[in-house]
Amino acid sequence: MVTPFSPDGSVNYTVAERLADHLVRHGSDGLVICGTTGESPTLTWDEEYQLFKTVKQAVAGRAKVIAGTGSNSTHEAIEATRKASHLGLDGALQVVPYYNKPSQEGLYLHFSQIAQAVPDLPLMLYNIPGRTGCNLAVDTVVRLAQVPNIVAIKEASGSLDQVSQIRCHTADDFLIYSGDDSLTLPILAVGGSGVVSVASHLVGPQLQRMIQAYEVGNVKLAASLHCSLLPLFKVLFVTTNPVPVKAALTLEGWDVGSVRLPLCAPEASVEAAIAEVIKQIPTMVSEARPL
């Protein structure tokens, strides 16, 4: 979920509450708060903690609430995760430590120590080497999947081979989520469970329909929905996330504000491209049909 900001740059908790309710009513089974899309690098821990409380209250048990409490400091990640766990949230997203580029053994120790520190809270690993500069290797994921409360991974490496290898070497109850909307359907095909989505801010019901169609064996309908939504998936990453999705939400009438520096508003040409795709969404979806 994006983090809404007021004109003065402060977190707009009122809009966050409304947006959380909207997402749950429009296809989201759970919400990740203070992840990449939520601009976690520029939020304070106090702002994040208040967002966790706000969204938990707004959701009121209708969907899972997962706290983005990862850090490139193991100590900070443990403390943030402990604090979030006291709120009774449903899990925590733990990103691969960024900038310091640990070894695979360092990654294993980082995640396993967080898990041991908060043993009752389910954890989802988050592999996004394009942002962190470090890939969480398959062998390391397999080792971590044996830790009782490490139950899932958000895979945003862009490698279907890597996802396939994780699936082949982990138990069926270890869940794999796509970290890229455009790879949701391919990842489902190799044993994935769903997507931690950006596009769900705009087309949550359609994403649910695509996943459900695949799960009941209607692969042609799922593929058609995938193709119809692909232009949106692509335009939402035409520049750094969450710049495009915040622009799209603004076009849709949501007062989510801008992004915090060092991110900045999109150029006029980018905004125009986003607006053009947004206008086409109703047509794309209504024309989706089995191929």
Catalytic site positions: 126, 154
Beta carbons of 254 and 19 less than 8 angstroms apart: yes
Q: State both tokens at 127.
A: 């592999």
- Please give the Cα distance from 225 to 210 (Å, whole number): 6
Q: Collapsing DSSP states into helix, strand and coil, what is residue 68?
A: strand
DSSP letter string over 178-220? ESSGGGHHHHHHTT--EE--STHHHHHHHHHHHHHHHHTT-HH
Beta carbons of 248 and 278 less than 8 angstroms apart: yes
Q: How many CA atoms lie within 13 A of 203 on its CB side?
A: 30
Q: State both tokens at 164.
A: 């396939």
User: Based on the number of CB atoms within 10 Å of its own CB, is 21 exposed (0-12), middle (13-18) or buried (19 or more)?
Assistant: middle
Residue 17: what residue type? E
Beta carbons of 7 and 257 less than 8 angstroms apart: yes
